[in-house]
Amino acid sequence: MKITVIGAGYVGLVSAVCFAELGNKVLCVEKSSSKLDELSRGMSPIQEPGLTEILDKNLEEGRIRFSDSIKEGVDFSKVIFICVGTPQSENGMADLSQVEEVSRQIAMHMGEYKLIIEKSTVPVKTHELIRRTIKRYAREDLEFDVASNPEFLREGFAVYDFMNPDRIVIGVESKRAVEIFQEIYQPFTENGNTLFVTKTSAAEIIKYASNSFLAIKISYINMLADLAEKVGVDVDMIAEGVGRDKRIGRDFLNAGIGYGGSCLPKDVNAFIHMAENYGLDFGLLKETEKINLNRRKQFLEKVEKLLWINRDKKIAVWGLAFKANTDDVRDAPSLGIVKGLLETGAQLCLYDPEAMENFKTIFSESKKLNYVEDKYDALHESEALLVLTEWDEFKEADLKRIKELMKLPIVVDGRNIFNRDKMESEGFEYHGMGR
């Protein structure tokens, strides 16, 4: 099949490259000339396991190419995926200006039937605005469909998740559109996946509802972490016991300093605002957000309580990325925690295997803050080690070496990655979250 993808951001690029890998001919439209240049040379602007390899392979085999022309994209295929950015605007709603602009341009260049698919995360009823825009700007006699096909990729697993979906959600209003989707996703349906075909508004809601549910799970276990701490039990035990109920499941019940990233915080917030527009109060999600933001504050309080006074004390920080296996620091809990520590006058030494460059664009090096290239170098003379990301290399670290290097062996584990008994038997003063 021929497929056009507009927008080579996270979702767009991964989708374009994966559709090409599945044997389709793909044209990916991107307006940034520097990005286009990189992509045409086989370099991916985002780091995702396997992405560069399949980008190179498909460029070489002529199944994918890049262009800055929406007209070319519209002429290329009857299937057009809109994957442009929908950043959070100041009022908490998604900013849809790029979606509107692309819809107008598609309309102006259309000469025959098109299936226009929103893959970006957009508020409910956006498909109606896209449809109205296309109707206004396109030739009157032209037929078209607007559909929703939300994406559920996790950072660090994007290619894997695209190729091994839990579910493929299709929001459509016509039989013709369903048939085209069946063709697009045939490689998956042949392997036993089924398409979940629903109304377009339902598909739009499913994306927000999924991310919000994950956020609720995390805040729920974090709420229980507070109780566990007061009572004197480990929250991990509670997560294990509760999670063994198949209806609940153990995933996303890891307590800690809370969720971050480019999706969960933004989507929860946008969902709350979307509900408000319908006169509904999503108090459950407001509480989820509140618990999440409080985690950072509670972590800071925990550190300050342990050290009594932070001023001029050397503190090592391991982990800046919002989660392991990514260099992304957007909305990462580390941002608020580092800011809070600096406000108390602590002397910080930061390390992250991937995210330091991104973090430096927000917190540059100073007298009170420096970065090191080796995790052990962060520990010299430190009076506490704070763990903010669940990287495997931290879990596997040499505990004896850590203890030798530190001035005081105090570990505050914001992600509960260490075994408490083991830490204590090695002579650490160990503090987790809800343990």
* 154 counts as binding ligand UDX under rule CB under 6 A: yes
* 117 counts as binding ligand UDX under rule CB under 6 A: no
* Long-range contacts formed by 184-189: CB under 8 A, 24+ apart: 184/1, 184/3, 184/19, 184/24, 184/79, 187/22, 187/23
Q: What x/- string results for residues 311 through 340 when contact with ligand UDX is judged by CB under 6 A?
A: -----------xx-----------------
* CB 388, min distance to ligand UDX, A: 10
Give the whole-angstrom CA distance, residue 317 versus residue 328: 17
Give the whole-angstrom CA distance, residue 426 versus residue 421: 9
Per CB under 6 A, which region of 15-23, 127-135, 255-263, 396-404 contacts ligand UDX? 255-263
Give the whole-angstrom CA distance, residue 304 versus residue 300: 6
Q: Which two tokens stand for residue 345?
A: 């006058």
* 252 counts as binding ligand UDX under rule CB under 6 A: yes
Q: Which residues pair with 26 in a beta bridge?
A: 3, 64
* 85 counts as binding ligand UDX under rule CB under 6 A: no
* 263 counts as binding ligand UDX under rule CB under 6 A: yes
Q: Quick one: DSSP state of residue 325?
A: T
* 434 counts as binding ligand UDX under rule CB under 6 A: no
3-class secondary-structure state, position 146: strand
Q: Which residues pair with 350 in a beta bridge?
A: 317, 371
Q: Considering CB under 6 A, how many residues would be counted as binding ligand UDX?
A: 19
Q: Which two tokens stand for residue 210?
A: 């999924």
Q: Which two tokens stand for residue 222?
A: 């974090």
* 83 counts as binding ligand UDX under rule CB under 6 A: no
* CB 263, min distance to ligand UDX, A: 3
Between 133 and 219, name the residue whose CB sits nearer to ligand UDX: 219
Q: Verify whether residue 263 is a known catalytic residue.
A: yes
* 162 counts as binding ligand UDX under rule CB under 6 A: no
From edge to edge, which strands make up the β-sheet containing 410-413? 369-371, 347-351, 314-318, 384-387, 410-413, 429-431
Return the residue matching tokens 């439209």: 29
Q: Which of 103, 254, 310, 325 binds ligand UDX (CB under 6 A)?
A: 254
Catalytic residues: 263
> Which residues bind to ligand UDX, rule: CB under 6 A?
152-155, 211, 214, 218, 252-254, 256, 258-261, 263-264, 322-323
